Structure 1
Amino acid sequence: MNTPSSNLPSPDANRLWSAIMDLSALVDSDSPGWTREVFSDPYKASRAWTLARMKDAGLQAHVDGAGNIVGRLPGTNPNAPAIVTGSHTDTVHSGGRFDGVVGVLGAIEAARVLQESGTRLTSDLIIMDFLGEEANGFGVSCVGSRAVAGVLDAAHLARRDANGVSMGEAVAAFGADPNQAISMAWNPRDIKSYIELHVEQGPMLERSGSQIGVVTSIAGIERVMAVFTGRADHAGTTPMDQRADALLAAAEAILTVERVGCGAPVHGVSTTGRIATGHGAFNVVPDSATIWAEIRSIDPGWLGGARRSIAEKIALDAAQRGVEVAIDLLNDQDPVPAAQTMQDTVAAASDDLGYSWEAVPSGAGHDAAHMAHLGPMGMIFVPSQGGRSHCPDEFTDKVQLSNGVHVLANTIRRLDLA
């Protein structure tokens, strides 16, 4: 039997890069960047490609009831709890080629390394391409991993997008089964651990020169949608102190969101990602506006207080302007620490392979946060050039990707031997 000190060989960097480039061709040609949004035709095509890629790598692969693509590399003991890895292949609008994709295609490459080196795990290795990790028009991210973890419920499926379509209807139209999606939770006894490879999506590793990031915690995310209702008036004849300007109330709320995020004592960020108004004109005082905002932090105490502070200040300021506001608060996820045992295993694998590493938090949300419900969770980061992500400029070079897969493969083997 191999021991942790007898390391697995390096992955085929060119094979991995070629796979990423092939998948990146399956995008919406009418949208900028690499756009492959959940439930879209390009996303459906990409998943057929990914399923075939898993099978070509020697995995037993299928699509489950929630729409996840599941690949299995059988171990020697079918009764042993499984080691799970993976990520997602959907993107945001005008997104990049690496976010999520590296965790899926990198895991497939790690499975190839295991097989080509003649290494047989005791546990099954399960590789996941989770359905719909990115935020969508229904306000529910990580759809597939929520289903597996047992935290997707009927209320999630009942949420409707701007066209009035429910998420359950969208799931069914995509070929999955919404009833199975909310009743298919895995048994934690069947899972030994979950490890996810991902691009950092931030600047810390590049700034420090570290090759690998050992993730300490995944930030919690609180989302806020505020709908402002004012009164339309003539813009030339209505005095400023007699207006109920919904757009000004929304603008003030946006600044409130920013100020709260800037005041975090340790780690916190806030963003207003969208604002919409009614049928406005130069000469009409706006009577309606809506904002979509979020706050993130690995500090649960600050995050909860910040959400309350934002809601209270928005309501107070709107009232002073004579504007009504309806605030919808949605907890996307709580902060989730990575298991210390998983951090230690990734760090040890990096040390053995001679890669420099540092402990880093994740400000982005990940499927890993939900998989933590099933067992010890850990994440491996590789650098992002310029810290850019969720944009066409997102980039991680071939060598850095190969380093990450090398650490992933050896981490998997260490977990199997533990």
Structure 2
Amino acid sequence: MTSAYEVMQRCAELDRYSAHPSHLERVYLSPEHAAANAAAADWMEKAGMRTWQDAAGNQYGRREGREPGLPALLLGSHLDTVPDAGSYDGMLGVVMAIAVVERIGDRIDDFPFAVEVVGFSDEEGTRFGKALLGSCAASGTWDDDWWTLRDQDGLTLREAFTEFGLDPSRVGDAARTPEELVGYLEAHIEQGPYLEAADASLGYVTSIAGARRFTLSILGEARHAGGTPYERRRDALVGAAEAISAIERLAKASTCIATVGRIEVLPGAVNVIPGRADLSLDLRAESDAERDAMCDVMFDAIRELCGARGLAFQAVETHTAPSMPCASWLTDAIVAGIRSTGDPEPMGLWSRAGHDGMVVGAVTDIGMLFVRCLDGISHHPDEGVREIDVARGLDALETAVLTIAQTRG
């Protein structure tokens, strides 16, 4: 039976499949992607699963239930990484899922459903700038406009598919249907500090954040820095600074998360008053209603402060993703699993980060288990988990699967 220590060792083994010798980077449709799939397939086979790679490069394993061809309870996460990544974001969930199938063993033969494990191929979007490509293919939400996306070397997504040995015309074969699936469970590091602050190993996810992203433009007038008195200035950068402060103030007073991660100033000369400032805004909340209401409040505040300075304000939406609530019946099973580890009052958290479940939810119910991570660090080489937390996570996920089998039986 695969132990927590062995799960962590397998995560370390996956670190070997990196495009760079000095840091971890494993991107979609790369040789490292193929190697990670092969390693996962080997572990799946050792756990008694039949394995295959789908038409979008996602790696699957399956163990039948009480009769062949039943709908499957899907467990998993993703195997790709960001640049300069840690060892656990995504990978831990895949390896834990494989270990749980091994631990349950022949008991699956009596399940009223099959059990599958998936290692999604591209959650992060590092190579082509579009996240969740693997799970979009699996959920039947692939967009043919993506075929022209290019990586930093100019290779299109279509060309990369072909180089990897996949047929772009058959990407639709990766799509799963609601009739094929019972639900989706994912274990993942928290990517935040709340479990650690509560001294809790595990938590359950209530919802995956719905995000909206914008380019905000503050428009003023570029004039000579020395010759223009303050009462005549329409300084776009000062207006942008006030807007950023207002965004932070409003978000901190709410349950939303707002981030300005980029700003560009024009004309950008040391002796010219800025005439234009463009800034990014990433806005997230547990529900779409909360997020959208906060968006309106923020934009009203920015318009007001711009008006006071004689500035104009524009907002262009560049991305939107709906929030994805976790299904109560799957959450109940995860809570039962956490309680089985000795935690009588499991902590519920909404995920501020995105996950494959956001799009898998288009075809089946989802549930998520969070595992405590060191100082809430993620997307960084210092990502860390404790063996005791992984051990409790394995126990909780196993119990959750057994609970679902019992209730559905």
Structure 1 equivalent of residue 335 of structure 2? 347
- Larger deviation: 21-30 or 222-231? 222-231
Whole-angstrom distance in 2 between the partners of 1:58 and 1:279 = 63
Pairwise CA distance, 1:54: 3.1
Q: Cα–Cα, structure 1 residues 279 and 44, in superposed 2: closer, same or farther, change >3 Å?
A: farther
Instruction: Answer whether contact 1:249 1:321 (CA < 8 A) is retained.
Output: no
Pairwise CA distance, 1:87: 0.5
Q: Cα–Cα, structure 1 residues 136 and 309, in superposed 2: closer, same or farther, change >3 Å?
A: farther
Whole-angstrom distance in 2 between the partners of 1:248 and 1:354 = 53
Unaligned 5+ runs, structure 1: 1-9
Whole-angstrom distance in 1 between the partners of 2:129 and 2:244 = 19
Structure 1 equivalent of residue 186 of structure 2? 196
Instruction: Answer whether contact 1:145 1:371 (CA < 8 A) is retained.
Output: yes
Helix, strand or coil for the counterpart of 1:365?
coil
Whole-angstrom distance in 1 between the partners of 2:54 and 2:264 = 37
Amino acid at match of 1:262: K
Structure 2 equivalent of residue 221 of structure 1? 211
Whole-angstrom distance in 2 between the partners of 1:249 and 1:156 = 36
Q: Cα–Cα, structure 1 residues 226 and 83, in superposed 2: closer, same or farther, change >3 Å?
A: same
Whole-angstrom distance in 2 between the partners of 1:175 and 1:283 = 55
Helix, strand or coil for the counterpart of 1:209?
coil
- Larger deviation: 306-315 or 211-220? 306-315
Pairwise CA distance, 1:168: 5.3
Amino acid at match of 2:55: G
Instruction: Please show how residues 1-12 of structure 1 align to structure 2 within 5 Å.
Output: 11-12=2-3
Structure 2 equivalent of residue 154 of structure 1? 144
Pairwise CA distance, 1:322: 5.2
Instruction: Please show how residues 37-56 of structure 1 align to structure 2 within 5 Å.
Output: 37-38=27-28, 42-56=32-46
Structure 1 equivalent of residue 376 of structure 2? 387
Amino acid at match of 2:327: A
Give me the identity figure in percent: 31
Helix, strand or coil for the counterpart of 1:92?
coil
Whole-angstrom distance in 1 between the partners of 2:172 and 2:266 = 36
- 1:24 matched to 2:15? The reply is yes
- Larger deviation: 320-329 or 53-62? 320-329
Instruction: Answer whether contact 1:67 1:175 (CA < 8 A) is retained.
Output: no
Instruction: Answer whether contact 2:333 2:401 (CA < 8 A) is retained.
Output: no
Helix, strand or coil for the counterpart of 2:109?
coil
Whole-angstrom distance in 2 between the partners of 1:409 and 1:359 = 19
Count of matched residue positions in the alignment of Structure 1 and Structure 2: 404
Pairwise CA distance, 1:96: 1.9
Q: Return the match for 2:244 from 254, 273, 277.
A: 254
Structure 2 equivalent of residue 100 of structure 1? 90
Instruction: Answer whether contact 2:286 2:350 (CA < 8 A) is retained.
Output: yes
Whole-angstrom distance in 1 between the partners of 2:305 and 2:169 = 43
Instruction: Answer whether contact 2:65 2:108 (CA < 8 A) is retained.
Output: no
Helix, strand or coil for the counterpart of 1:215?
strand
Q: Return the match for 1:337 from 325, 333, 337.
A: 325
Structure 1 equivalent of residue 399 of structure 2? 410
Q: Cα–Cα, structure 1 residues 233 and 36, in superposed 2: closer, same or farther, change >3 Å?
A: farther
Instruction: Answer whether contact 2:64 2:108 (CA < 8 A) is retained.
Output: no
- Larger deviation: 82-91 or 220-229? 220-229
Cα-to-partner distance string for 1:257-284 (whole Å, 9 max, x where unaligned): 32342232xx211112333557845345
Cα-to-partner distance string for 1:277-324 (whole Å, 9 max, x where unaligned): 578453455566543331111132121122344456557766866567
Whole-angstrom distance in 1 between the partners of 2:63 and 2:329 = 23
Whole-angstrom distance in 2 between the partners of 1:31 and 1:328 = 37
- 1:294 matched to 2:294? The reply is no
Q: Cα–Cα, structure 1 residues 228 and 164, in superposed 2: closer, same or farther, change >3 Å?
A: farther
Instruction: Answer whether contact 2:239 2:311 (CA < 8 A) is retained.
Output: no
Instruction: Answer whether contact 2:220 2:312 (CA < 8 A) is retained.
Output: yes
Instruction: Answer whether contact 1:216 1:361 (CA < 8 A) is retained.
Output: yes
Instruction: Answer whether contact 2:72 2:181 (CA < 8 A) is retained.
Output: yes
Structure 2 equivalent of residue 304 of structure 1? 292
Instruction: Please show how residues 61-80 of structure 1 align to structure 2 within 5 Å.
Output: 61-80=51-70
Amino acid at match of 1:196: E
Cα-to-partner distance string for 1:178-215 (whole Å, 9 max, x where unaligned): 55445743110111111111111222222223332122
Q: Cα–Cα, structure 1 residues 11 and 358, in superposed 2: closer, same or farther, change >3 Å?
A: farther
User: Normalising by structure 2, what TM-score?
Assistant: 0.83
Pairwise CA distance, 1:173: 5.5
Q: Cα–Cα, structure 1 residues 324 and 281, in superposed 2: closer, same or farther, change >3 Å?
A: same
Structure 2 equivalent of residue 3 of structure 1? none
Helix, strand or coil for the counterpart of 2:262?
strand
Structure 1 equivalent of residue 317 of structure 2? 328
Instruction: Answer whether contact 2:263 2:279 (CA < 8 A) is retained.
Output: yes
Pairwise CA distance, 1:381: 1.4
Instruction: Answer whether contact 2:218 2:311 (CA < 8 A) is retained.
Output: no
Instruction: Please show how residues 230-245 of structure 1 align to structure 2 within 5 Å.
Output: 235-237=225-227
Q: Cα–Cα, structure 1 residues 257 and 136, in superposed 2: closer, same or farther, change >3 Å?
A: farther
Instruction: Answer whether contact 1:11 1:406 (CA < 8 A) is retained.
Output: no
